[in-house]
Structure 1
Amino acid sequence: MGHLALGALFARTLDLDELVLMPAGQQPQKQGSTAAAHRLAMTRLAAEGLAAALAASHPSTQVIVSTREIERAGPSYTVDTLREMRREAGPGASLSLLIGSDQLVRLDTWHAWRELFDYAHICAAARPGFSRETASAPLRKVFAEREKSALGVQSTPCGGILIDDSLAVDISATELRATLAHAQNAAKPPANLPEPVWQYIRAQHLYRA
């Protein structure tokens, strides 16, 4: 639900034409990921609910599920994805990478992280307790140099950072997986998981203890 809330937030804040949900392929910083086919299926189920909600509240945004990364061979680097998307969108379109603040403060551990700004803006939703001071000094310098308003992101192609602290959703994917490991027989899904995704997880026997 945190991912969906982040997408809905920036769909409204940036008046997005398209909101692309993209399951990662082979994640370089993560081992033992759930099979890509399952993650894609769950993303599609979640996207249906998000699309319905946005159709009522913000109908100008089209929700798209992309298989771009899971179809790519080898490690799935975000910079490669953004480079491809920039080439397809052209030099003038405003592109934004939407992430949580937990990833923002460790952005300098990503592959070729400085090049991300050559292709897109980076927009982050701050979780409760977020502090820029937890980022490295070089990264804090980048925050200061590149921070933009929503209008600044909308009106330029790439290169900025937008940090939004209005979401206040504190959901950890690690904690959710731990909850799922012991909740397979529960009558209702965890509060932070869409019902269709919960039913898929149960049917496919995923995330069991």
Structure 2
Amino acid sequence: MPLLSTRIGILGGTFDPIHIGHLAVARQFDQCLGFTKLVLLPAGQPWQKSNVSAARHRLAMTCLAAVLVLPTTRVIVSTDEIYHPGPSYTTQTLSKWRKYYGTSASLTLLIGADQLVRLHTWKNWWRLFELAHIGIAARPSFDLSHADTMVLDEIEHRSGSADMLRSTTHGHVLLDTTLSIDISSTDVRHSLRERTGSRFQEVSNVPDTICRYIYQHHLYRP
């Protein structure tokens, strides 16, 4: 099948804060699928999370990360959900992107194993496959049985190769188990809260520019 000329990767998340694990997922799938554009999509008001940092800080950190992700691929930061009034839902956002790029573009939503096990709780989750492919970054030790049975059935039914995702517009799943990075924003925030003193200190798994932003704006501190 011929390669589609427009291949968009979409990496969404609360990004509170964005860290090297997020960047690793983007790089891995870009190498595999050869995106013509990568979209970083910080959530505005995540309906399944509470007590998240202000949207303006998470957006700023995402913008700082954008220049670090893929030096050979165009990376943009979308504010679709940041400025969306009320809770934001991935299916609604993907629907807008599909209308914008039309029916001939390959769209791939990138998610991690932690999102996979909660996928069945997403609003209208089954519609994701009508709008995009899904690229799943699961650690080598990840047990797929932790995911919901209905989700697993869809993954098995829609499993496809990298060539299929590059050559079709939506509906397939690519599971990658080669990444060995296991980092969570929760752990990063916990590490930051344990720091004492006001002087800048590097934080493991957080790019230096983002770490400096965190310290400058006194985020995640008691």
Correspondence 1:131 to 2:131: no
Matching residue of 2:112:
100
Residue 183 of structure 1 deviates from its aligned partner by: 2.4
Q: Conserved in 1, the CA contact under 8 Å of 2:116 and 2:136?
A: yes
Alpha-carbon RMSD across the aligned residues, in angstroms, is 1.3
Task: Specify which of 45, 49, 59 is matched with residue 40 of structure 1.
Answer: 59
Matching residue of 1:85:
97
* Distance of 1:104 and 1:162 partners within structure 2: 12
Residue 128 of structure 1 deviates from its aligned partner by: 4.5
Q: Conserved in 1, the CA contact under 8 Å of 2:137 and 2:175?
A: yes
Matching residue of 2:203:
190
Q: Which amino acid aligns with 2:186?
A: T
* Distance of 1:184 and 1:196 partners within structure 2: 20
Matching residue of 2:125:
113
Correspondence 1:203 to 2:216: yes
Identity %: 47
Q: Which has the higher strand share?
A: 2
* Distance of 2:51 and 2:139 partners within structure 1: 26
* Distance of 1:142 and 1:85 partners within structure 2: 22
What pairs with 1:18-97 in structure 2 (closer than 5 Å)? Answer: 18-50=37-69, 54-55=70-71, 59=72, 61-97=73-109
Q: Conserved in 1, the CA contact under 8 Å of 2:43 and 2:81?
A: yes
Cα gap change, 1:203/1:163 in structure 2, threshold over 3 Å: closer, same or farther?
same
Q: Which amino acid aligns with 1:79?
A: T
TM-score norm. by structure 1 comes to: 0.93
* Distance of 2:140 and 2:192 partners within structure 1: 23
Q: Conserved in 2, the CA contact under 8 Å of 1:128 and 1:170?
A: no
Q: Which amino acid aligns with 2:152?
A: R
